[in-house]
Structure 1
Amino acid sequence: MKRKLYMLATDLDGTLVGDKAALQRLLHYYNESFQDISLVYITGRHLNSALSLIASEELPTPDILITDLGTAIYRSPMLKRDKDWQQQMRINWQPDEILKLSGDFPSLKKQALPNTDRISFTVNNDYEVVQKFEARLNAKNIPHKLVYSSNRDVDILPENSGKGNALIYVLNNFACKEVQVLVAGDSGNDLEMLSLGYPSVVVGNAQPELANIKNHSKLFKATQNYAAGIQEAWAHFYETNETESIL
């Protein structure tokens, strides 16, 4: 991976995945390109769920798989968990206390997950209760990061996790210094990584919560949906470079 000069760092559901024809066109586009592109998948799914999606959608095996909203990182070729990142995620993490406090908010419905690397709930379009819950977490001085997305998903993560921090860790530790990256997402849980300042794309079918994302000089808002939006952005940022290299 350190030898690859380009990287696609993308969310899965609603971004890379969602339109099979567009996905196949994007994969063909990359296969035909002279650019050597590493793939980093960054998803809210847990490991087994992510692997199931990769298989069902016939996605290429990624160089790096980031799951559970950035709380776990797996490296190819065997997709073994990165132990250093795992240790970082355990610092000040108090899942039992978080669950105990959540009991005071019956509208928060706990999601069934295979571990407590993160604590996740669903709520029926009630941001007020999310704010009250976070206020209680802060009042109890419980270190955490709260991510609210799609008007229903409430994720409580270790304080130094998140899709953005996980991507920074990958870039610093596993990518070449000159790597040219495109970050792609569609929902609020992608906001952190889309705001890092790297070339980034909000795909055309993005959730309304990204409508007011703060612009930066390398943020591209695609008109095309799903993988077609990624391809549109890749051409915007990197086709010129490719043409110049050929010439």
Structure 2
Amino acid sequence: MARLPTFDQRRLLAVSLEETLLSGEKASRKRLEQLINEQRDTILLLYFSKETLSKQLKQIVNHQLLRPDYIVSSLGTEIYRLPEENPLSEWEHYIQQAYAREA
């Protein structure tokens, strides 16, 4: 799959890692993954969680989940683009500007 800009023509599917994928039945999760795979070229897959990036990556590996395009971690304060696991620079800039604290 070719690398696309941050925002493109695909649809965004945002899924809670703990509340949706890991809390349900494995058969239901596998069916959801099958449906996503059928449309993978038209979907940007994003997992979100209160957990850190490293913990989410471990959960993805341990539960053999689909690899997402993005991970939102630490209650939305960090957004990472995969597979490089680099922070999304636009979001980092926004957070720094919006929540700058005076010394």
Regarding TM over 0.5, the answer is: yes
Amino acid across the alignment from 1:61? R
Amino acid at match of 1:17: L
Deviation at 1:46, TM superposition (A): 0.7
Match of 1:38 among 35, 41, 44: 44
Classify 1:92/1:38 alpha carbon distance in 2 versus 1 (closer, same or farther; 3 Å). Answer: same
Per-residue CA distance 1:69-125 (angstroms, 9 max, x = gap): 11001012312112332233233358xxxxxxxxxxxxxxxxxxxxxxxxxxxxxxx
Matches within 5 A, 1:1-247: 1=4, 2-4=8-10, 6-18=11-23, 19-33=25-39, 36-90=42-96, 91-93=99-101
What root-mean-square deviation, in Å, do the aligned CA atoms of Structure 1 and Structure 2 show?
2.2
TM-score after normalising by structure 1: 0.34
Q: Report the AA paired with residue 87 of structure 1.
A: H
Question: Unmatched 5+ residue regions in structure 2?
Answer: none
Secondary structure at 1:15 match in 2: helix
Percent identity of paired positions between Structure 1 and Structure 2: 30
The Cα of 1:33 is off from its aligned counterpart by 4.4
Query: In structure 2, what is the equivalent of residue 105 of structure 1?
Result: none
Q: Which amino acid aligns with 2:67?
A: T
Deviations 1:166-211 (A, max 9, x none): xxxxxxxxxxxxxxxxxxxxxxxxxxxxxxxxxxxxxxxxxxxxxx
Q: Judging changes above 3 Å, is the alpha-carbon distance between structure 1 residues 92 and 51 closer, same or farther for their aligned structure 2 residues? A: same
Corresponding residue pairs, total: 93
Which of structures 1 and 2 has the bigger CA Rg?
Answer: 1
**Alpha-carbon separation, structure 1, partners of 2:21 and 2:46:** 11
Distance change in 2, residues 1:3/1:77 (3 Å): farther
Corresponding residue number in structure 2 for 1:160: none
Cα gap change, 1:33/1:65 in structure 2, threshold over 3 Å: closer, same or farther? Answer: closer
Letter in 1 for 2:51: R
TM-score if structure 2 supplies the norm length? 0.75
Q: For 2:94 and 2:28, locate their aligned partners in 1 and report how far apart those are by CA, in whole Å.
A: 37
Q: Name stretches of at least 5 consecutive residues in structure 1 with no aligned partner.
A: 95-247
Q: In the superposition, relative to structure 1, how do residues 42 and 93 fare at CA in structure 2: closer, same or farther (>3 Å)? A: farther
Amino acid of the structure 2 residue aligned with 1:67: S
Change (3 A) 1:35 1:87: closer
Return the alpha-carbon distance in structure 1 between the equivalents of residues 76 and 38 of structure 2.
31
Inter-partner Cα distance in structure 2 for 1:63 and 1:36 = 12
